[in-house]
Structure 1
Amino acid sequence: MSPTEDSNKLQFKGANPGAVQYGNFINYYQFHPPDDRVKLLPKNIWITGTACIALDIGCNAGNLTLALKEFLMENVSKDTSILGIDIDPALIKRAEELISKNTSFKCLDIMDEINRKLLISNYLTSFNVNKFSILFCFSTTMWIHLNHGDVGLKSFLQYICSIAEIVVVEPQPWKCYKTAVKRMKGTNFTFPEFSKLKFRESIESDIENILIKDCCMLKINESERTKWERKLLIFKHKI
């Protein structure tokens, strides 16, 4: 695929900035302030005292990534480093304007197995660790599911559990899928996997079951729902 084709896939469709294929919304944090999510994170469940190496998948323009780093420095370890990744290079360019000490942003399609292995491996190696202390995945699972199907979603969840000690995930409920599909009406694009999905109305429970049964994780916290009807689920590896 040429760079032009790649760029076209990342643009919103028609005249609707909400009609995007990968959730790479412009000015996303004007509508979803980072503090609305950070305040849902518990303060007393983390392993403290040692260095904290964190990953934020689908970081958009980086505002939430920086808020997460501040939270981790206050509640986990003052020695915190965080990497934010996003599929959209334009958003990463914005994020880099906010860059601060021990904060990095990289453009990466997390479903690109070759490039993710190289980038993630190099980042972890630079800290002489094998896994991230904490991995954040806010409102990203739906976009992976819509573009890569049930198999892609399951493989993604298995992958993130393999590279992190603690996983924080915010799944989009099924009504968000229907909204995403509806926004594409009137454009020339449809999500090719949507009609094939078997994980549907119970998607939040399906994701939780995959993490617990297939990834051998233990759920240690569940937040109340946000005003946009989503909740944070936190998992760690079983001992």
Structure 2
Amino acid sequence: MASSSSTVPIYGNYHGYYAKRPSVRDPRLALLPSTIFSGARVLDVGCNEGWVTCEIAQSWGAHKVVGVDIDESLIRAAWRRRRTVWSLQQPAMDEDALRVADTGSRKRRREPSPATPRLQPDYFPLSCEHEFGSLPVPPSDIRGRHVFPHNLSFRTADWVATRIPEDAERYNVVVAFSITKWIHLNGGDEALKAFFQRIFDVLEPGGTFVLEPQAWDTYAKAKRMDERLKENAKTLKIRPDDFESILGLIGFGPAQHFGVTGEGGFRRPVDLCSVEGEAKKDVDLANLLCRSFFIIAFAITFPRQDDMKMTNHPIGFLHTGTFRERATFYSGRRGPHHRVRLARKDATAVI
């Protein structure tokens, strides 16, 4: 799936999406526990124009929020949304004003609750930005790296197939609102399962996956957008009702269902699946053991340096002399299925 700004939203990359859902406060977030994002590293996959992403970063006390979308023009709109939300926010008071606002107490001032920030989000009307433009965002050393808007960034990427730098840190929460249908129609059953697996892989032990699955009957209209989607739809065996069992097989705990929100075609459930801490540690340990086995097997079968010549080969080296000019590596995603095959002139050793 390549990055796209196509006028036909075959990836669900609707432009003006929030004109259809104009609420400043997203009702899907309102269904969730109030502390779910507090102090968390959050990934919003398929963030569109960034409205939900901005709300999480500004009003829910998140430590760091990353929004990713396949459509570059939507990401540009998300950065603009970040500036708009910042411009309409109540200005921060200086220290003298804060001391007065604290009603003269001699006690040390407490920080505001992350879920209920001191600064009012919609302090200024939108007309102010229309008339005067967006306010400049101050340098991060003035307001702090983990305070809005500095705790929020966006990236253009097909996250289903491409890693982003922030993935290395892992996340406490991954949000996927209204995107499973598009991943499913574009990549089939395997792409959807790979997406769920990737989310499991980048979540910390105890992390949370927030999912808004789209109903099967909504696929019919979507597949008519493009002939390829129509053909892919014929091969689909997985249904949205199967998602919970698939997530369970991957390693997620039982889903919590937080009801249905929205109106008309936007009435969908919001589910919350957590990564069981011990289960996640077991999977991580298994992956580590598999990688260790791979390295040991490679070391055992790797030739001595005087038996080979190092050259610029696509995989980093080229066997010459007693080895053929190839080395093939196999790896499986689950369990200890890693193996190495080094092809010799006279034999093939499989570990």
Calculate the TM-score normalised by the size of structure 2: 0.53
Aligned to 1:39: 30
For 1:125-136, list aligned pairs within 5 A. 131-136=170-175
Does residue 198 of structure 2 align to residue 192 of structure 1? no
For 1:4-15, list aligned pairs within 5 A. 10-13=5-8
For 1:71-220, list aligned pairs within 5 A. 71-73=59-61, 80-99=63-82, 100-112=149-161, 115-116=162-163, 118-121=164-167, 124=169, 131-164=170-203, 165-182=207-224, 184=225, 190-200=229-239, 203=240, 205-220=241-256
Q: 1:86-132 deviations in whole A, cap 9, x for unaligned?
A: 000011111112332210000010122xx41x42335x2xxxxxx21
Match of 1:146, SS state, is helix
**Aligned partners of 2:60 and 2:236: how far apart in 1?**
36
Whether contact under 8 Å (1:54, 1:81) holds in the other structure is yes
Whether contact under 8 Å (1:96, 1:105) holds in the other structure is yes
Does residue 259 of structure 2 align to residue 223 of structure 1? yes
**Aligned partners of 2:275 and 2:227: how far apart in 1?**
43
**Aligned partners of 1:54 and 1:190: how far apart in 2?**
30
Whether contact under 8 Å (1:142, 1:171) holds in the other structure is yes
Aligned to 1:233: 271
Gaps of 5+ in 2: 83-148, 278-351
Q: 1:117-164 deviations in whole A, cap 9, x for unaligned?
A: x42335x2xxxxxx2111100001111000110111011101102212
Specify the code of the residue in structure 2 equivalent to 1:101. Answer: H
Aligned to 1:22: 11
Match of 1:169, SS state, is strand
Runs of 4+ in 1 over 3 A off after TM superposition: 187-192
Distance 1:60 1:139, change over 3 A: same
Whether contact under 8 Å (2:43, 2:175) holds in the other structure is yes
Q: 1:5-42 deviations in whole A, cap 9, x for unaligned?
A: x67x54134xxxxxx21000010011124522222223
Using the TM superposition, give the Cα deviation of residue 191 of structure 1 relative to its aligned residue in structure 2, in angstroms: 3.8
Pick aligned residue for 1:61 from 43, 49, 57: 49
Using the TM superposition, give the Cα deviation of residue 47 of structure 1 relative to its aligned residue in structure 2, in angstroms: 8.0
Whether contact under 8 Å (2:212, 2:268) holds in the other structure is yes
Specify the code of the residue in structure 1 equivalent to 2:189. Answer: D
Distance 1:215 1:193, change over 3 A: farther
**Which structure's relative contact order is higher, taking Cα pairs within 8 Å and 6+ residues apart?**
1
Whether contact under 8 Å (1:41, 1:223) holds in the other structure is no
Distance 1:108 1:148, change over 3 A: same
CA RMSD of aligned residues (A): 2.3
Whether contact under 8 Å (1:10, 1:22) holds in the other structure is no
In our comparison, the structure showing a higher alpha carbon Rg is 2
Whether contact under 8 Å (1:55, 1:84) holds in the other structure is yes
Match of 2:21, SS state, is coil
Whether contact under 8 Å (2:177, 2:212) holds in the other structure is yes
**Aligned partners of 2:5 and 2:157: how far apart in 1?**
13
Whether contact under 8 Å (1:218, 1:237) holds in the other structure is no
